[in-house]
Structure 1
Amino acid sequence: MFSRRVGNGIHKYVANLNRLKHPCALFSSGSSYTDLPRKLKLSERKPWVTSVNELKRKARLENEERLVVREVTLSPPENGLLVKELVPIAHEVFAARAQLLACVSRVAMSIPVYSCSLCGEVHVGHPPHKIRTCNVIGSQASKEHMWSKGGAEHVLPRVESFHLYDRLGRAVTHNERLLVDRIPAIVELCVQAGVDILEYPTRRREFPVYFVAGRMIDFERRFPKDDSSVKEIKTDGFWENRKKSSQDEESLNLPYDDIQGFAVRGMVAWEKMRSGATRLMKKYAVQTCGYCSEVQVGPKGNRVRQCQAYKHQMRDGQHAWQEATIDDLVPPVYVWHVRDRQDGGLMVDSLKRYYGKLPAVVELLAQAGAHVGENYSSLMREDVAVPGLDEEKWVV
């Protein structure tokens, strides 16, 4: 009788365990867990968006075309004109960014954000976790983080790019680095795609440029229009005429205490901004350094010699430019996902393999009451049962 009861209890326990996915099984072929991008070493280069062989093939074709004296017909935006069907998308992305900044700033006042003063890791919610992942020069021997109060700038970091008056003009040189203004890269992408901002003028062509034997011929520059207002436009030093104000974000018609309303609108704005920027990047080129976080919106990178990454001496301090991705333009700062904020359970190092992760913006808005989309369900590990500290040794 006793053995029968024990056997039935074991079968029920095993059946309950089979309903849950064990973290070790999440990496199998039938798993729904998506592994995060591996953190690159200082000597490693970012993955190529386009394969090296394909880039070499395109370079050979371009060299062959330069030898033939004939006109090469280009389509927008390579010929300097705007892609008309993407102009509304650029305005949507610009408006979504302003709305997202307003929502994140308001939600960050209610939900605490912590940042490690040594390694820069971010945690959303109170109390901050005790996972020992601080492994930088000057960190403690226990690898515990030194938490300090953070803000919206840690959740949504600012990635800047040089503003180009003419996106088809020459690249910004090292001597011009202090003359040309730097603005958020996603704003520069929207400006080049059709958004007109008074503080950041840009050249809008009415006639396309032509490429003949590898050389660009711009008829508007050779035969300019009779317009005296063009002579007054400055191509650098835009910040001198810009009024610095904290009211750049779009105001929302929501009660100040409606945190969940801000979170829901912020989540929609986050998805709209990333999806719209991805569509723009398919037409408008964005470059990033293969070893550091520098980004330049435009068909080619700048020539500023400020790269201090791996083997920068061999490049004379210049960046190793390659095609950028949406994560380079809008970097998602991944943080540990807190399942139940009301529970107040402390996240410990011994159970870190059972915890999921989310982008810091998504985690902040989720804790404020916003719904997390299905595209993040594979990162959250909601289907994994987190054992107690006294139950970990029994997990197979």
Structure 2
Amino acid sequence: MWRRRIQNSFGLGLYVRITGETAANLIGEDNKKLLSCAYSSTSISVDLPRKLTKQDRKPMVTSVNKLKREARLVKTHRQTVQEIALKAPDNGLLVKELVPVAHEVYNSRTELFTCVSAVAKSIPIYTCSLCGEVHIGSPPHRIKTCNAGALSYKEHSWKRGGMKHILPVVESFHLYDWVGRAVSHNERLQVDRIPAIVELCVQAGIDIPEYPTRRRKFPVYNVAGRIVDYERRFPKDDLRGQGINTHGFWSRRQPSRENLPDFKPDDIQGVASRGLEAWEKMCSGAARLMEKYSVQTCGYCSEVQVGPRGHRVRNCYAHKHQMRDGQHAWQEATVGDMVPPVYVWHVRDRHGGEPLVNGLKRYYGMLPAVVELCAQAGARIGEKYAGVMREDVAVPDLDEERLVV
């Protein structure tokens, strides 16, 4: 055997490198051309997130046993009537050291959307009209992974896509009061929905006139499992949101675009590099914010709610929603739930002109769509994505595939 392949769940492998002398003894000097497809790197491949079916539930961030232990501990504390001092942000106050992080995440998101819209004018984006798969670059691939309709694993029906296909926006109900009650089903049309990443930044300290929120000066307390707000009982100089409309943001003026970054129209590589840097800053900053600020997601659908608890709107139509009366199965969210990374096939040579074929799909790598778009525009990809790009695995020709073990 020339090499040993250890397949993972995506069919991407980790290969054993063979020296040139050993390969020459095995295949002969005349067939040393095949050596280009008989090697690999010693780096460890990274498994992509498994594509969940409609019946599968998202993996839990915190184990069920730990959640049960925490619930029993909370139940024990409720039996004793005493005042429990809460920490920020559970007490309604801001985490001061995370306020600059919230501003960085919000500015990075604005810069990212600006860069992606500029790069998308030069590099085409395709999406399947049946299953919604995305491909970056022309021509689109011919890999038979379309599972829409009665026939599975067929070729895609491509059409031109846009920025919304590579940067899908996940919305959340905007909360005027972080420690207030959850949104009920009857209030679903009265409370506005905004991008979840923006809602997280607003709750973490960004003041946006279009999205008003309550800023407390004094913390709330937990007494026997109930939240007691002393500002509401003794308001002092707090106006309790008088004169502020907590909904109806669609009728207000759009935010100003004066602070958007300026780019040179001919420097596509520079724009792509700034966009990739903004993507990394946004994801890493959101992960830091979510360590303190709770974000909930449904275990079966893509619904997200920023706040200490999920809403009570019965709009879930996922697996077994009849048993839950349309309510969501809330659990702790991850950054991937707020900013879903749309994975696409990685094209190594954009100017090659040859599409990716189905017979060699186990040799191709994958990248998030935003990263792939910036890579094709000339941005340098760091070592973080080396395991999924598979640049160190040579792709054989179609006539050489049967000779590769």
Aligned to 2:89: 77
Structure 2 partner of 1:257: 266
Match of 2:7? none
> In 1, distance between residues paired with 2:212 and 2:286?
21
Partner of 2:8: none
Q: Which of 107, 110, 118 is residue 122 of structure 2 equivalent to?
A: 110
The answer to whether the 8 Å contact 2:34/2:400 transfers is: no
> Normalization by structure 2: what TM-score?
0.90
- The 5-angstrom pairing of residues 183-332 of structure 1 reads 183-226=194-237, 230-240=241-251, 242-244=252-254, 248=257, 250-332=259-341
Distance 1:312 1:229 in 2: 37
- Per the TM alignment, residue 18 of structure 1 is displaced from its structure 2 partner at its CA by 8.9
| Map of 2:402 onto structure 1 | 393
- Secondary structure of 2:28's counterpart equals helix
SS of corresponding position for 1:383 = coil
CA distance in 2, matches of 1:142, 1:235: 47
Q: Which residue of 2 aligns with 1:53?
A: 65
Report the equivalent of 2:12: none
Partner of 1:182: 193
Cα contact 1:98–1:249 (8 A) shared by 2: no
**Mapped contact 1:102–1:249 kept (Cα < 8 A):** no
Residue 161 of structure 1, CA deviation: 0.4
Q: What per-residue deviation string (whole Å, max 9, x for no partner) do you get for residues 275-298 of structure 1?
A: 000000000000000000000000
Task: Report Cα offsets for 1:68-123 as digits up to 9, x if no partner.
Answer: 01111211111111000000000000000000000001101110000001000000
Of residues 248-257 and 12-21 in structure 1, the stretch that sits farther from structure 2 once superposed is: 12-21
- Extract unaligned runs of 5+ from structure 1: 1-5, 23-29
Determine the C-alpha separation between the residues in 2 that align with 1:340 and 1:186. Answer: 34
CA-CA distance at 1:384 after TM superposition: 0.7
- Does 1:136 find its partner at 2:148? yes
Indicate conservation of the 8 Å contact 2:92/2:179, yes or no: yes
* Structure 2: 5+ residue stretches without partners: 1-23
Q: Which secondary structure does the structure 1 equivalent of 2:274 belong to?
A: helix
Q: Give the one of 35, 39, 58 matched to 1:20.
A: 39
Residue 73 of structure 1 aligns with an amino acid whose one-letter code is: A
Instruction: Check whether the contact 1:160–1:295 (CA below 8 A) recurs between aligned residues.
Output: yes
Q: CA deviation at 1:239?
A: 2.4
The answer to whether residue 366 in structure 2 is matched with residue 357 in structure 1 is yes
Residue type matched to 1:212 in 2? V
SS of the residue corresponding to residue 111 of structure 2 reads helix
Q: Which amino acid aligns with 1:243?
A: R
Length, aligned pairs only: 381
The alignment partner of 1:351 has SS state of helix
Query: Residue 47 of structure 2 is aligned with which of 35, 39, 52?
Result: 35
Aligned to 1:25: none
Post-superposition offset of 1:254:
2.0
Q: 2:28 aligns with which of 10, 13, 17?
A: 10
Distance 1:322 1:288 in 2: 6
Distance 2:360 2:103 in 1: 44
Matches within 5 A, 1:117-156: 117-137=129-149, 143-156=154-167
Task: Decide whether aligned partners of structure 1 residues 331 and 249 sit closer, same or farther in structure 2, where only a CA change above 3 A counts.
Answer: farther
Closer, same or farther: CA 133–141 of 1 in aligned 2, 3 Å: closer
Letter in 1 for 2:267: D
**1:342 is the counterpart of 2:326:** no
Aligned twin of 2:342: 333
Question: Shift of residue 225 of structure 1?
Answer: 2.7
Question: Is 2:38–2:404's contact at 8 Å kept on the other side of the alignment?
Answer: no
Task: Report the CA distance shift for 1:228/1:331 in structure 2 as closer, same or farther (over 3 A).
Answer: closer
After superposition, the Cα gap between the structure-2 partners of 1:368 and 1:180, relative to the gap in structure 1 and judged at 3 Å, is same
Whether the 8 Å contact between 2:109 and 2:278 is mirrored in structure 1 is: yes
Residue 375 (str. 1) matches residue 387 (str. 2): no
1:154-179: per-residue Cα shift (whole Å, max 9, x none)? 11111100000001101111111111
State the 1:343 CA deviation: 1.2
1:17 Cα offset (Å): 5.9
Indicate the SS of the match to 2:399. Answer: coil
The alignment partner of 2:175 has SS state of coil
Identity %: 65
What amino acid does structure 1 have at the position aligned with 2:88?
P
Cα distance in 2 for residues equivalent to 1:279 and 1:332? 18
Report Cα offsets for 1:173-227 as digits up to 9, x if no partner.
Answer: 1111111111000000000000000011000000000001111110011111345
Amino acid at match of 2:236: K
Report SS of the residue matched to 1:123. Answer: strand
SS at match of 1:161: strand
Q: How far has the Cα of 1:256 moved from its partner?
A: 1.4
